[in-house]
Amino acid sequence: MSSSTTNIESVLHEERVFPPAASFSEAAHISSPADYERLRAEAADAPEEFWARMAGELHWFKKWDTVLKWDAPHAEWFAGGKTNVSYNCLDRHLETWRRNKAAIIWEGEPGEQRTLTYLQLHREVCRFANVLRRMGVREGDRVALYLPLVPELAIAMLACARIGATHSIIFGGFSATAIIDRVNDAGCRVVVTADGGWRRGAEVKLKETVDEALKGTPTVEHCIVVRRTGSRVNMTAGRDHWWHELAETVSADCPAAELDSEHPLFILYTSGTTGKPKGILHTTAGYLLWAHLTTKWVFDLKDEDTYWCTADIGWVTGHSYVVYGPLSNGATTLMYEGAPNWPEPDRFWRIIERHRVNIFYTAPTAIRAFIKWGEQWVSKHDLSSLRLLGTVGEPINPEAWMWYREVVGGGRCPIVDTWWQTETGGIMISPLPGATPTKPGSATKPLPGIEVDIMTKTGEAVTAAGQGGYLVIKRPWPSMLRTIWGDDARYREAYWSEIDGVYFAGDGARRDRDGYYWIMGRVDDVINVSGHRLGTMEIESALVSHEAVAEAAVVARPDELKGSGIVAFVTLEGSRETSDALKEELRRHVAKEIGALARPDEIRFTDALPKTRSGKIMRRLLREIASSGAVSGDTTTLEDFSVLEKLRAQEEE
């Protein structure tokens, strides 16, 4: 680690402040604290006028009648308006000089490169939209996309948006069981996949996984397969079709459908505290407006920028900040298929140098890995093209923030630490890089138009500086989730019932004397592993589905690299013996049921789990045992103390 970062660990109370450089501010879209305050005040004083003015940045086939209809907790934004996300991301740029500007620059993990201009991308999107129509897909139908990070994924998204089909992207690391749950919940008619993709030099056989999944998905009529790796796959006659063969049979002309503002754009599944994953529903106009504005404001995006968000499109970050936000702004967005350490730990820096990337957006978990791999991998590349850095997914520790600033940003690039969620659709709390002085570890302040606060469980505002509480959002915003697909009761319950009248984000936070927000992490039983949310409940269900397991409780423990590691406490069926082989088998079982992401780092067998008298597992105690080996918290509600004794004794073994 560089000498500039060795003293950071000792800074317990973060006092450092980094104002943007004057040269950065002067050229920025929003260039001073006063500009920011003006926008904020405008939005707070007359929200509907503010949003109406902002919506003027999009193309409308027909203007809206009403900016917001709010029948809590249901919002309709820009009702009566007609627009199309694909049109906004493509067609409108074709009328400008951008028609031959690079829209997507793509690198495959093995090293291939492809560039698609706006004109070329438009043509591919139109073709695939016609392919989907030929497969019988109509407005409102759902299409599942299970693909590697290849241009065809962006093409398929935009093609769905073009004809009003609702896409549901399933991260390529998920298992067949996870696909079945998601495809059935949404009732998808078509699945788009690839033969495989590349990850750390190995082929991920996506089509094989889909073949297994499609045995359990009665609504799927067709499966369209991108040829990516060229390896052999089984094609079921009548059901499976090659993308490139279908694309040859259709025209490259496909006018964008004029869709209602509230037309469903996509469903994206995310973990909740209980039960199956929640299908978060986002709609057309409001989502696009906020993706568009936040990309422009937070990344200070200019036409000459080459912009790279490293997220997989299987997560919301990829939806909003690899595809929709950048393309709506007419930007050049970079996509890289593979791992950051393939073939060597400098792949990202190599890409930045090769393509002269100006804006780079990644996750704290990646930054911690870079720190571990060593500064030498970074410093051997010329990163002088970078002018702005961003992070998302989990709290970033100040020492990682400083390393990012010094080693990657050369001390000259502002860092935007962006807080948001799958549910919020776009960034909610973040510095504006030309206006907001930053503090390492703080996401700083809410964006204009966003009203956040910190509250107690009973809904009182926490006003004292530095005091922790629940992060809430007090006003509807255009890109808010509209509901949970097929389960509106759960929507009300999960987000609008915890604290009366406000959106409950599930994160703890505090606000300092300067009004800066510091996110403290999840307050519910959701584990954030490498910036991805996993419900403890899902992992527990996967464990219990194994015939040897009677009961399981899953908790997080701090992990230097991943943010959180997963520890599973497991009780076995009466006749079963504990063994290391069984531990391995259970870890594998979870990976198969959900995906490798959810594989427990550690399995601990126990005779019983600590429970309250009403039978609730006391995860808080297990969390303490998993992270420190001891229990210091309140145990008065514990039913059977001997359980704790045994768990502790086991720890000492």
**Contact residues for ligand WT7 (CB under 6 A)?**
270, 316-317, 392-395, 417-422, 443, 505-507, 519, 521-522, 528, 531-533
With H, G, I as helix, E, B as strand and everything else as coil, classify residue 92: helix
CA dist 477 and 154 (Å) reads 25
The DSSP result for 307-348, as a single string, is EEE---TTSHHHIIIIIIHHHHTT-EEEEE-S-TTSSSTTHH
Residue 227 is encoded by which pair of tokens? 């040829």
455 φ/ψ angles, rounded to the nearest 5 degrees: -130, 160
Residue with the shortest CB distance to ligand WT7:
422
The DSSP result for 220-262, as a single string, is --EEEEE-SS-------TTTEEEHHHHHTTS-S--PPP-EETT
Nearest to 125 by CA among 69, 75, 163: 163
Distance of closest approach, residue 361 Cβ to ligand WT7, in angstroms: 10
Q: Parallel, antiparallel, or unpaired: how do β-strands 415-418 and 388-392 relate?
A: parallel
| Nearest to ligand WT7 of 270, 332 (CB atom) | 270
Residue 504 C-beta-side C-alpha neighbours within 13 Å: 23
| Nearest to ligand WT7 of 148, 318 (CB atom) | 318
| Nearest to ligand WT7 of 116, 519 (CB atom) | 519
Residue 622 is encoded by which pair of tokens? 């297990």
Nearest to 508 by CA among 446, 444, 457: 457
Distance of closest approach, residue 470 Cβ to ligand WT7, in angstroms: 11
CA dist 591 and 248 (Å) reads 38
| Nearest to ligand WT7 of 84, 270 (CB atom) | 270
| Nearest to ligand WT7 of 343, 521 (CB atom) | 521
Distance of closest approach, residue 52 Cβ to ligand WT7, in angstroms: 27
Distance of closest approach, residue 522 Cβ to ligand WT7, in angstroms: 5
| Nearest to ligand WT7 of 378, 392 (CB atom) | 392
| Nearest to ligand WT7 of 212, 493 (CB atom) | 493
Max CA-CA distance within the chain? 73
Distance of closest approach, residue 531 Cβ to ligand WT7, in angstroms: 6
| Nearest to ligand WT7 of 505, 556 (CB atom) | 505
| Nearest to ligand WT7 of 560, 585 (CB atom) | 560
Distance of closest approach, residue 318 Cβ to ligand WT7, in angstroms: 9
**What CA–CA distances, in Å, run from 417 to 397, 427, 584, 637?**
11, 10, 37, 39
Cβ–Cβ under 8 Å, residues 402 and 3: no
The DSSP result for 137-196, as a single string, is --TT-EEEEE--SSHHHHHHHHHHHHHTPEEEE--TTB-HHHHHHHHHHHT-SEEEEES-
Distance of closest approach, residue 646 Cβ to ligand WT7, in angstroms: 33
Distance of closest approach, residue 520 Cβ to ligand WT7, in angstroms: 8
Distance of closest approach, residue 21 Cβ to ligand WT7, in angstroms: 22
The DSSP result for 532-587, as a single string, is EEEEHHHHHHHHHTSTTEEEEEEEEEEETTTEEEEEEEEEE-TTPPP-HHHHHHHH
| Nearest to ligand WT7 of 167, 533 (CB atom) | 533
Distance of closest approach, residue 317 Cβ to ligand WT7, in angstroms: 4
CA dist 161 and 94 (Å) reads 18
